[in-house]
Chains A and B, each alone.
Chain A
Amino acid sequence: MPGFSLTARADAPVEEVWKLLFDPTRFPEWWAGVETVHATGPGEYTQWPTGYPDFPMPQTMHTDQTGGRVTISCQISDIDTTWQLAESAAGTAIEVRVDLPDAEAHRLDTQHDAITASLARLANLAETATRAAATNDDPGP
């Protein structure tokens, strides 16, 4: 089964990355190629790829308590994307593993590029949220 693994580091506390990763409705903000997400129920949602508003792709989010991982599975393509977070100094280490079925092997490079970009955007978004918190000044009475 073709696949790849990537790692990145966000200069943001783990809870900021965690919120982005566990909330599918925010995927369009950082996941490359995802334009719209509509939650359909706990652990289930449908996403529409960028440029394909008539092409719904149901997804499931599965959390693995033992391994501390969260896996996003596409019900159309059978591509699994598994994420794992860990504290790293004052920031967060992010690891992602993508597994494609043999039938989707030709999309390996595309997926690699998309997830690489997504990783960077995820880290960036979490860092932005952290900075916002740090610079948020209460106007006060």
Chain B
Amino acid sequence: MVVRIVGGDRRHSVGAASTAAGSSPAERSGSSIRSRPVRRQRRYRFTVVRVHLLGAAVVERDGRAVTVSGAARRLLVFLALDPGPHDRAALANQLWPELPAATARANLRNALWELRKAVGEDVVLASRVVAGLRAALLWVDVAEVGRLAERGELASAAELCRGELAPELGDDWVLAAREQHRERQVMLLDRLAEQCEAGGDTAAAARWSRRRHALTPLDEPGLCLLLDRLAATGDRAGAALAGRQFVDRLRDELDVAPSPATRSALARLHAAVPAPLAATPDTARRPMFGRARELGTLTAAWSLARRGQGRVCVVTGEAGIGKTRLIGALADRADNVGARVAIGAGADVGAEAPLAIWHALVRELVHDVPAPPRQAAWPGELARLAPDLAGALGRTGTPPSLAAPELERLRIFDAVLRLIEWSVADRPVLLVAEDVHRADRASMQLCAHIGRRTVGLPLLFVLTRRDRPARPDADVLCADLIGRGVEVEQVVLEPLNPPEMAAAARTVTALTDQDVDRVVATADGNPLLAVESARALAAGSTAVPTNLRAVVRAATGSVPPPGRALVETLAAAGRDLSGAEIESLALPGRREAESHALETGLLRRQRGGLGFRHALLAEAVRVELRDPEHHHRQAALAIERAAGARRDQVAAEVAGHLHSAGRDDLAGSRWERAAHHARSLGALPEAATFWGEAVRCDPTAVEARLELAEVLGWLGRPEDFEREWRAALDLLPLSAQSRAWSRRGKVLRTVVCHPSESLRAYRRAAELLGPNAPASLRCDVLIGMAIGEASAGSPERAEALLDEVETLVTDRDPGTLGEIGTARLLTQIRLGRLGRCEHIADSAGAAATRAGRPDIAYPIWVHAACALTCAGDLPAALRAADQALAATRGITVIEVPCLAVRALLLSRLGRHDEALAASAEQLTLAARIETPEPAGLAHHDAGLVALAAGHHRDAATHLEVALDADARISRPATRLARAEALAGSGDPHEATAELRRAALEPVGPADQPWALVPRMARVQGLIALARGDLAEARRRLTEAADSWQRCAAPAPGGELMVNFVDLGRPVVGLVEPGRELARLRAELAEINTLTEVP
């Protein structure tokens, strides 16, 4: 047996530099262990070896994988179950009881040697008389379960119980330990179920009970509890199934009948009728009527999905028609088979942070998934969404942001996708995004991204939406998914028919037939209204309310003031409020207020918080509010107070409530906070909206206007950018305008990509720099000017500026160093000193990498790779590309362009197999990115690599996909490459058609038309060759060679600058006339050889 090791939790492992004492109890007590000196004295603060004995065997030393097998493995398990010194002779006898003592001792000696070699000498106690593991350096999951349970962290303890204890071993001592652990686990699960039940979370109680039942499948009290709890969730079918299976098992395995207690529980199940409303806890689910067909559709989809045929379901229906109820029934079914269920919905009122639905979904998942591998980068990336999400997965700190907000968004999307992929690794997942008709744009984009990746995963992704108002992007999402081959089930909920409505009304309370008829007539097929009308009648109303407003009026009319205030603030909040948020409302007599509010029947308790049972009920209360401003203000302040360190995430929501409260004086700073947060998530439309709100609150806020201008620039709205920037400038005195011009310069050199205009802005900034200007601003201006000069001015001036900057820079932060490095690279390229680029990249790129700033490092390496390619030093270029790749591993959005450079350089070096492998990896990763652009580019690059490798059919296919994807490529050049591929694959007819399409493509400066002419002639030659027309082939290839010779070779560096500015992927777009000529001459020589063959 071999134990394969995976990564663990970094928090529990430290390097050798840690200091505090950590000797074992035996050493401290002065036992004989001291008689054997340890060769390497290491002292630790924390655990260095982690041993997982439950389920899959895992051992880790200092966070690194360790392999322990055979006898050493048995020894490790024994010692890990009981750390500390053991008598050596007794230990040998315990492990090898059937062997003579001398042989057993020899086995122990060998096993100890293996174990010391594997986990480290410092962890293993070994003397002549004792052997063991040092407890202070050891973490064992079995012991941790006990520790957590004692501390009351029951769910965490249960999460660690992932399987049987050392299932691969069958020794008596293992069986005893296994049974002991099983008993502890049963108690743990019982306590958890009881806690959930007491808290009203019947679904969770049933889930824990099911796990408990799985541990003790013949235990009747356990089964009875499971049956009752399943019934309480409304899953009587599931309960009946569990009961039947239990009876069968008893008969088959023990040949006995169930006990009277079990028979009684089964009878209760079959006789169960819905309790009247007044006696029903608000979390208990009533039976569902009239949705058997729809639930059947969803269940069938779930059955397929959980077997790995992932798919998407879209549930559509009018408000109150039963979408949430239907999803609840599906979630119960998924939950009852041990699936992971996560449900998220956004707020219903005012603004909310981007990705609000996904905040909720991710939060549910991170607290439920196993610990991810230590080396995985994605858990840390989730900190961008909210730091505590990464914290739940054992990661601290937020990774540095990237310069481009769009990349930020894509990084978050990729991290969420990886979380979902991780969450389905050990069990199927039901993911529900509720009410997407009100979702923010970024949430919708991420829904689409995840939906596209469901194929092949045990994942059902359900979206619910109202049929009104129209939400075109939801329709686009469905069409897009279907177009990409994703299975999409559309479930439309129609109004219930009268018998179904009557049945639904009767689940609430015992009504007369006449009352039922009145309810059915009033509700018009809407089950929510039917149920609420029935509730009103049950509560004493004499007339059937005609609408929900009348329902809520009747329900809240007699509620005492604190309870009523709570109901009204909840309505204003537009979403459930957590326990902490309700606490922050500082209501007098909170418990009583909650009790009164719950008695209205409008609310339900959810995970310690409170919320309306349905969004329409909240809407109905909202329109009845007597003092909405007061309640919005209350909600805003409570939400903000309760958020604590998470204020950024609720800032938009808080600002929206303050605006509704008429307090724009308080809202402005919250809008700014919300805008910063949205920008950090790459949610630019939301950031623009929030900055716009901040400006509306304070039209004189210069900073807000500048930020707004910048975001508008990112959004590709140059006129709006100019307007806002000018407005900001007008608010500033001349002496303070330098910084505004500097910011303008930066936008124009990064976002808008207008180098000459950027240079002009920086020059103006320099003119306005006062003698007392901050050094940081002076540096920014000089660096910006240098980059402008290097790109669109004089590289000599750029050099001088950079020299001046070097004398000013005292803060060697990686951002500044990266900017300087980039400027120096561009300068050297413009000056034609391409060979110097490697040295600059080695210095600046490595510094940025060391500083943990891959976003700064990789463009430096990529630029250097391009320059070195131009210089003809392909090995050095490849080294630079590999440095870029190493710096970006795990950050897909910036890893992909580095892979592109590597693939194309390998192709240029003739290392085609490696090039094909790199481009395949590029394709795989690019397909994970939410936007289609990287995938289109990857197909383009894969096409070029395949073409160079002689894989013509693959090349033609990839290039066609790239063209169809409308990727930002040179379309005429790509069509010419595809025509070449088609000619190479023996299809001259289609190649000719493609060549003609190339001539009809619009040509821009970035297409480098001067290079297209000879390429077109060459492809004509290759087509002629494919037709067997050697004379025409020779004529066309000669024409191409003549054309290349007539071309003026670009000035050194100049050609590269064109690429940098216009293509952004210079290695891909690089044109090298000398290389083209050499290839043509070789092809002509080949043709001449052909003609000479007799």
Contacts and interface: CB of A to CB of B under 8 A. Distances in A.
Interface of B: 995-996, 998-1013, 1016-1017, 1020, 1024, 1028-1032, 1035-1036, 1043, 1046-1048, 1050-1051, 1054-1055, 1058, 1091, 1093-1094
A66 B995 CA distance: 20
Interface stretch (A3-11, A13-21, A101-109, A113-121): A13-21
Interface string A67-105: 110100000000000000111000000000000000000
Contact of A141 (B1003, B1010, B1094): B1094
A22 B1094 contact: no
B1091 A139 contact: yes
A68 B1029 CA distance: 32
Given A15-B999, A18-B999, A40 B1028 contact: no
A86 B1016 CA distance: 17
B998 A136 contact: no
A86 B996 CA distance: 11
Contacts, number: 104
Contacts of A13: 996, 999
B1028 A22 contact: no
10 contacts: A15-B1020, A19-B1017, A23-B1010, A40-B1048, A42-B1058, A45-B1048, A67-B1002, A68-B1003, A133-B1036, A136-B1031
A85 B1000 contact: yes
Contacts of B1008: 42
Most buried by A among B1012, B1043, B1047, B1048: B1048
A54 interface: no
A41 B1050 contact: yes
Given A19-B1017, A132-B1035, A136-B1035, A39 B1029 contact: no
Contacts of B1009: 22, 43, 61, 63, 70
Contacts of A66: 1002
Interface string A16-47: 00110011010000000000001111111100
Contact of A42 (B1017, B1036, B1043, B1055): B1055
B1043 A23 contact: yes
10 tightest CB-CB pairs across the interface, nearest first?
A65-B1004, A39-B1048, A68-B1002, A18-B999, A15-B999, A25-B1046, A138-B1031, A136-B1032, A63-B1003, A23-B1013
A9 B747 CA distance: 46
Nearest to A16: B999
Contacts of B1010: 22-23, 39, 42-43
A121 to B, nearest CB: 18
Contacts of A61: 1009
Contacts of A136: 1029, 1031-1032, 1035
Most buried by B among A43, A70, A138: A138
A138 B1054 contact: no
Given A25-B1046, A40-B1048, A15 B1091 contact: no
A62 interface: yes
A40 B1017 CA distance: 21
Contact of A14 (B1000, B1011, B1036): B1000
B1061 to A, nearest CB: 12
Given A62-B1005, A138-B1031, A41 B1000 contact: no
B1017 A141 contact: no
Contacts of B1032: 133, 136, 138
Nearest to B1003: A63
Contacts of A140: 1030, 1091
A63 B1048 contact: no
Contacts of A67: 1002
Nearest to A134: B1032
Given A62-B1005, A63-B1002, A138-B1031, 14 more contacts: A14-B999, A15-B999, A42-B1008, A42-B1010, A43-B1009, A61-B1009, A63-B1009, A65-B1003, A65-B1007, A70-B1009, A87-B1000, A133-B1024, A140-B1091, A141-B1093
A19 B1001 CA distance: 13
A138 B996 contact: no
A41 B1073 CA distance: 12
Nearest to B1092: A141
Contacts of A14: 996, 999-1000
Contacts of B1012: 22
Main SS class of interface, B: helix
B702 to A, nearest CB: 36
Nearest to A139: B1031
Nearest to A87: B1000
A22 B996 contact: no
A45 B1008 CA distance: 14
B970 to A, nearest CB: 10
B490 to A, nearest CB: 39
A61 B1004 CA distance: 11
A85 B1029 contact: no
B1004 A63 contact: yes
B1031 A22 contact: no
Most buried by B among A45, A61, A62, A133: A133
B487 to A, nearest CB: 39
Nearest to B1011: A42
A48 to B, nearest CB: 16
A86 B1009 CA distance: 17
A89 to B, nearest CB: 13
Nearest to A70: B1003
Nearest to B1029: A138
Given A42-B1050, A42-B1058, A138 B998 contact: no
B1031 A137 contact: yes
Nearest to B1027: A138
B1002 A65 contact: yes
A138 B1028 contact: yes
Contact of B1016 (A15, A39, A63): A15
Contacts of B1006: 65
A86 B999 CA distance: 9
B1043 A141 contact: no
Contacts of A137: 1031
Contacts of A85: 999-1000
B942 to A, nearest CB: 25
A126 to B, nearest CB: 11
Contacts of B1091: 138-141
A102 to B, nearest CB: 28
B995 A15 contact: yes
Most buried by B among A23, A40, A137: A23
Nearest to B1008: A42
A59 to B, nearest CB: 13
B1002 A87 contact: no
Nearest to B1033: A138
A125 to B, nearest CB: 13
Contacts of B1031: 136-139
Contacts of A25: 1043, 1046-1047
B1030 to A, nearest CB: 5
A39 B1002 CA distance: 22
A15 to B, nearest CB: 4
Contacts of B995: 15
B1005 A19 contact: no
A13 B1094 CA distance: 35
Given A19-B1017, A39-B1048, A63 B1007 contact: yes
Given A23-B1043, A39-B1047, A18 B1030 contact: no
Contacts of B1058: 42
B468 to A, nearest CB: 39
B1007 A87 contact: no
Contact of A63 (B1005, B1011, B1029): B1005
A39 B1013 CA distance: 14
A131 B12 CA distance: 79
A105 to B, nearest CB: 30
Contacts of A23: 1010, 1013, 1043, 1046
A43 B1012 CA distance: 12
A140 to B, nearest CB: 8
A42 B995 CA distance: 22
